[in-house]
């Protein structure tokens, strides 16, 4: 700024001369400017010059300071005592430079870091860890609480939860674990693992550590599914299904799929029905009484990719249109499809020992009878079929169906559209159109009473 003083002084002198000359002009010739106008122009020019010089000076200072800080960062990253001390001299207000020890330094001046920046939580935490290692738990606790008072972010909460975990203070651990879990934007997997190390009780963890926030519950549910804790995942999924919005639907559907794979069909159905009751899936709840045991039976909705909706795999040689609007499902066979394949399937909720009726509406083009395209019903896991329907072949819309008995003890079944090339036939080429399929329990007829 010292170098700028002569230039600014010259501009001021020029301004004074312009003002003096303007005052000496007593007459104005035609076409000339008024003396006052010249004075205003001079003052405006001076202001613009001063503003430009000030902006240039500030920019130069900012550039110099940025280069200085970058150089200090570079020195600090070297890590030697000489380099770190020089970095601290170049940037004496940067608290981070006083937390980590340099090579050969007896101890880091952490106290200086929190003096420079009382809101630097990492400094308070480092002081607390030193106190804990020195056998001063009360001092460590005080410093950690001070870190939280200064900074309400995730790090102080997480550190306090760890401190109380090491101290075996369960009540304080659950308090700070829950406060840490409230920071939903962060990946909470490490915190969830710490909770399971403190307690193996899924109900206790869910009640004490997991806030009733859909985003956090979704994180926790995904963690439980990744770590194969299915029973705990069921409870978390139920809690999430009652609160979830569209972004959390996928997590509940994944839990539903895992329960189905484990044969826990009724629990999976409970989750599905919770989603349906809150319109998070576009279907009515599963209900034998309401005749709603097949989901998306008219093929009128796009698939939700999970749960009790249709699973339609990609099969080479088969082009699929639907489900969606307009309702229906169309499959075009090119003749290049595998000789045996599943084309569509759905998990069903059934009751062992009951008889059920499957009815469907369809038509075909170019597919002859006895070629191996049919509906079948079987267990959710394992091979084999309980019952298979007749081969699908009808050029006009037709109603067809079959009945099956759910084996005792079964809770679920799979309804599958299969193609198994019949012996003596070539692979089919043509089209199958499906309009509707439904499943209903077969009513038991009352036994006739004897007359005598």
Maximum Cα–Cα distance for the chain, whole Å?
A: 143
Give dist(CA 73, CA 100) in Å, integer.
13
- Tens digit of pLDDT at every position of the chain (452 positions): 444 444 344 433 444 443 444 444 434 445 554 455 566 677 777 778 888 888 888 888 778 767 766 765 665 666 565 566 555 565 555 555 555 555 555 555 677 667 777 888 888 998 899 899 999 999 999 999 999 999 999 999 999 999 999 999 999 999 999 999 998 667 899 999 999 999 999 999 999 999 999 999 999 999 999 999 999 999 999 999 999 999 999 999 999 999 999 999 999 999 999 999 999 999 999 998 887 899 999 999 999 989 999 999 999 999 999 999 999 999 999 999 999 999 999 999 999 999 999 999 999 999 999 999 999 999 998 778 999 999 999 999 999 999 999 999 998 999 999 999 999 999 999 999 999 999 999 976 444 444 33
Task: Say if CB 145 and CB 179 are below 8 A apart.
Answer: no
Give the number of other CB atoms < 10 A from CB of residue 63: 10
Give the number of other CB atoms < 10 A from CB of residue 99: 18
CA distances 354 to 136, 264, 295, Å, are 69, 18, 20
* Closest to 295 in 3D by CA, of 381, 303, 234: 303
Give the number of other CB atoms < 10 A from CB of residue 166: 12
Residue 242 CB partners (closer than 8 Å, separation 6+):
274, 278
Sheet holding 430-441, edge to edge: 318-321, 329-333, 430-441, 355-365, 398-405
Task: Say if CB 121 and CB 147 are below 8 A apart.
Answer: yes
Dihedral angle sign, alpha carbons of residues 211, 227, 312, 235:
negative
Beta bridge partners of 430: 333
Q: Which residue has the tokens 């000076």?
A: 57
For residue 398, the model assigns a pLDDT of 96
Beta-strand relationship, 398-405 and 387-388: unpaired
For residue 48, the model assigns a pLDDT of 82
Task: Say if CB 212 and CB 187 are below 8 A apart.
Answer: no
Q: Look at the chain and count its residues.
A: 452
Which value, to the nearest 10 degrees, does the dihedral of the CA atoms of residues 184, 187, 189, 195 take?
A: -40
Q: What are phi and psi of 233, to 5 degrees?
A: -65, -35
Question: Two tokens at 338?
Answer: 């595998």
Beta-strand relationship, 318-321 and 329-333: antiparallel
Task: Say if CB 259 and CB 268 are below 8 A apart.
Answer: yes
SS3 category, 448:
coil
Give dist(CA 440, CA 22) in Å, integer.
104
Give dist(CA 415, CA 413) in Å, integer.
7
For residue 56, the model assigns a pLDDT of 85
Give the number of other CB atoms < 10 A from CB of residue 440: 14
For residue 166, the model assigns a pLDDT of 97
Give dist(CA 182, CA 373) in Å, integer.
53
Give dist(CA 80, CA 88) in Å, integer.
12
Task: Say if CB 258 and CB 228 are below 8 A apart.
Answer: no
* Closest to 299 in 3D by CA, of 281, 324, 282: 324
Beta-strand relationship, 340-349 and 329-333: unpaired
């Amino acid at each position: 700024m010292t170098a700028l003083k002569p230039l600014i002084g010259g501009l001021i002198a020029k301004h004074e001369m312009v003002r003096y000359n303007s005052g000496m002009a007593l007459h104005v010739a035609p076409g000339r400017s008024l003396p006052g106008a010249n004075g205003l122009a001079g003052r405006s020019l001076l202001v613009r010059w001063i503003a430009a010089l000030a902006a240039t000076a500030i920019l130069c200072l900012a550039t110099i300071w940025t280069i200085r800080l970058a150089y200090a960062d570079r020195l600090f990253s070297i890590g030697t005592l000489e380099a770190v001390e020089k970095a601290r001299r170049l940037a004496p207000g940067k608290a981070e430079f006083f937390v980590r020890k340099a090579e050969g330094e007896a101890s880091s001046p952490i106290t200086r870091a929190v003096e420079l920046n009382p809101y630097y939580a990492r400094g308070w935490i480092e002081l607390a860890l030193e106190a804990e290692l020195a056998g001063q738990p009360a001092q460590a606790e005080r410093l950690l609480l001070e870190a939280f008072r200064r900074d309400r972010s995730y790090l102080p909460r997480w550190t306090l939860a760890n401190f109380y975990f090491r101290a075996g203070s369960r009540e304080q651990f659950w308090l700070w674990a829950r406060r840490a879990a409230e920071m939903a934007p962060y990946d909470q997997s490490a915190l969830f693992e710490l909770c399971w190390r403190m307690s193996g009780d899924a109900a206790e963890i869910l009640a004490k550590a997991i806030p009733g926030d859909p985003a956090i519950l979704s994180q926790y549910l995904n963690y439980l599914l990744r770590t194969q804790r299915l029973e705990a995942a069921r409870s978390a999924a139920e809690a999430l299904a009652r609160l979830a919005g569209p972004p959390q639907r996928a997590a509940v559907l994944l839990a539903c799929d895992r329960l189905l794979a484990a044969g826990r069909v009724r629990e999976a159905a409970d989750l599905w029905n919770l989603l349906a009751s809150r319109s998070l899936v576009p279907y009515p709840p599963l209900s034998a009484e309401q005749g709603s045991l097949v989901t998306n039976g008219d093929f009128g909705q796009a698939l939700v990719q999970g749960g009790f909706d249709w699973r339609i795999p990609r099969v080479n040689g088969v082009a699929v249109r639907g489900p969606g609007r307009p309702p229906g499902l169309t499959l075009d066979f090119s003749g290049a499809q595998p000789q045996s394949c599943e084309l569509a399937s759905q998990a069903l909720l059934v009751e062992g020992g009951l008889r059920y009726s499957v009815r469907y509406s369809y038509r075909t083009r170019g597919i002859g009878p006895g070629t191996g395209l049919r509906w079948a019903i079987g267990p959710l896991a394992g091979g084999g079929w309980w019952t298979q329907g007749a081969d699908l072949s009808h050029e006009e819309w037709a109603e067809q169906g079959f009945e099956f008995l759910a084996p005792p003890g079964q809770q679920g079944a799979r309804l599958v559209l299969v193609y198994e090339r019949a012996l003596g036939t070539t692979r089919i080429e043509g089209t199958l159109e499906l309009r509707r399929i439904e499943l209903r329990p077969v009513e038991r007829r009352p036994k006739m009473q004897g007359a005598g």
